[in-house]
Amino acid sequence: MSEKQVLVTGACGEIGQALVQELARKGGYKIVTSDLYPPPDSIKPLVAEHVAGDLVYKVKTFYDYDFDIIFHLAASLSSKAEIATEEAHRINVEGTMQLLMLAAYRSEKYKKEVKFLFPSSIAAYGVPNIEAKKQAGAVKETEWNTPHTMYGCNKLYCEKLGLYYSKYFGQKHLDEKPPAMLDFRAIRFPGLISAFTMPSGGTSDYGPEMLHAAAQGKPYACFVRADTKISFMAMPDAIKSLLILMDVPREKLSHTVYNIAAFALTAEEFRQRAINAFPDAKITYDINPRRQGIVDSWPQDVDDSLARAEWGWKADYDADRFFDDYFLPEIRKRYGK
């Protein structure tokens, strides 16, 4: 069977590196990547071609390629996007729009379905206050679609753009059977934690930052309150979800956007687990009001029953398995503690 051609944008980021490694391990893909930066050693040998530079200007390069699948991961994350809002809008919205247009054009012109996988985020939600957050519990995809951040607005809007280009672009008669089209699929990811890479520019970063610091014996001042709770997930589960969703037959999917969940912990629960594993860890709190406000607006958990029912989603790592079977063994190897 011939190789499928895959584009991974934002390939040097955390999800990007892990995804490229997993696609290469599975085999059967010609992997083309793009990012602002050259590929790191972790993925360099696995990539057929890498296009370095700003995606908004580089998209035209890709009109000559015949992609079967696009993973559009490039983004400016929530904390960074709040500081440089216009730039974030350009990267997050303009970049996505350009790539969606490319995929829609190719699928229409060559009558070939192009799958477009898009990582959305719990940032697409926005609850007005702590009381509402507690009351909301685990939110469904349709609830609280009122983001408080530029990044959240960008993600929510791009989910809508994806639906538009996959379903309505060209404005066929509603009863007409649609031709082969862009096949857009999005996952609203919780905060992700990898044992191998560090996040940057996000607001859920206090989770991974705290754990990596504790493992290295470095002091860490957590920038959110002890009782702050949102959902998190091990990186291998995030990659698993993208690859499952990529392969689900379209007719099984009634939606384009899905929550996925693994475990929801408070910052203090992270701290206690870090101290149990690394008793010398020095973890204090130094609240950053802006970043606290962002996380307070995110739900404390998400309801992923739609993904479970339609594509058999189930996380491998709950909180215990995340620490005992993934993070701690890997991080001990990495930092030798």
Name the residue nearer to ligand AKB (CB basis): 34 or 79. Answer: 79
Residue 77 touches ligand AKB, criterion: CB under 6 A: yes
Please tell me the distance from the alpha carbon of residue 39 to that of residue 62, in angstroms, as a whole number.
Answer: 18
Binding to ligand AKB in span 297-326, by CB under 6 A: none
CB of 224 to ligand AKB, least distance (A): 11
Q: Are strands 69-72 and 182-189 parallel, antiparallel or unpaired?
A: unpaired
Cβ proximity to ligand AKB, 182 vs 233, nearer residue: 233
Q: Does 202 bind ligand AKB (CB under 6 A)?
A: yes
- Residue number, 118 or 151, with CB nearest to ligand AKB: 151
Q: Which of 8, 20, 103, 123 binds ligand AKB (CB under 6 A)?
A: 123
Measured CA to CA, the distance from residue 181 to residue 166 in angstroms comes to 6
Instruction: Say if CB 207 and CB 264 are below 8 A apart.
Output: no
CA distances from 9 to 48, 69, 125 (A): 14, 11, 24
Burial class (CB in 10 A: 0-12, 13-18, 19+), 330: middle
Q: Point out which span in 121-129, 221-229, 260-268, 279-287 binds ligand AKB (CB under 6 A).
A: 121-129
Under the criterion CB under 6 A, does residue 204 sit at the interface with ligand AKB?
yes
How far apart, in whole angstroms, are the C-alpha atoms of residue 67 and residue 31?
Answer: 10
Closest CA to 76 of 128, 123, 126: 123
- The closest of 192, 242, 234 to 72, measured between CA atoms, is 242
Q: Are 155 and 318 in contact (CB under 8 A)?
A: no
Other beta carbons less than 10 A from residue 216's beta carbon: 15
Residues in the chain: 337
Instruction: Decide: is 92 part of the binding site for ligand AKB (CB under 6 A).
Output: no
Residues with Cβ < 8 Å from 208, sequence gap 6 or more? 191, 192, 193, 194, 198, 199
C-beta closer to ligand AKB: residue 184 or 189? 189
Residue of this chain nearest to ligand AKB (CB atom) = 202
Cβ distance to ligand AKB smaller for residue 31 or 190:
190
Smallest distance, ligand AKB to C-beta of residue 111, A: 35
Minimal distance, residue 171 CB to ligand AKB, in Å: 32
Q: How far is the CB of 14 from ligand AKB (least distance, A)?
A: 9
Report the C-alpha gap between 15 and 19 in whole angstroms: 6
- Binding piece for ligand AKB, criterion CB under 6 A, among 97-105, 120-128, 138-146, 325-333: 120-128
Those residues with Cβ within 8 angstroms of residue 95's Cβ, 6 or more apart along the chain or in another chain:
9, 55, 56, 59, 72, 74
State the burial class of residue 319 (Cβ atoms within 10 Å of its Cβ: 0-12, 13-18, 19+): middle
Beta bridge partners, 283, equal: 220
Positions 126 through 165 that interact with ligand AKB (CB under 6 A): 151
Binding-site member from 31, 74, 99, 122 for ligand AKB (CB under 6 A): 122
Please give the structure tokens belonging to residue 61: 């390069």
How many residues belong to the site for ligand AKB (CB under 6 A)? Answer: 11
Binding of residue 100 to ligand AKB (CB under 6 A): no
Is residue 124 at the binding interface for ligand AKB, with CB under 6 A as the rule? no
Using CB under 6 A as the binding rule, the residues of this chain from 36 to 75 that contact ligand AKB are none
Residue 203 CB, shortest distance to ligand AKB, in Å, is 4
Instruction: Report 2-21 residues binding ligand AKB (CB under 6 A).
Output: none
Q: Does 228 bind ligand AKB (CB under 6 A)?
A: no
Query: What is the smallest separation between the CB atom of 208 and ligand AKB, expressed in angstroms?
Result: 9
Binding region for ligand AKB (CB under 6 A): 77-78, 121-123, 151, 189, 191, 202-204
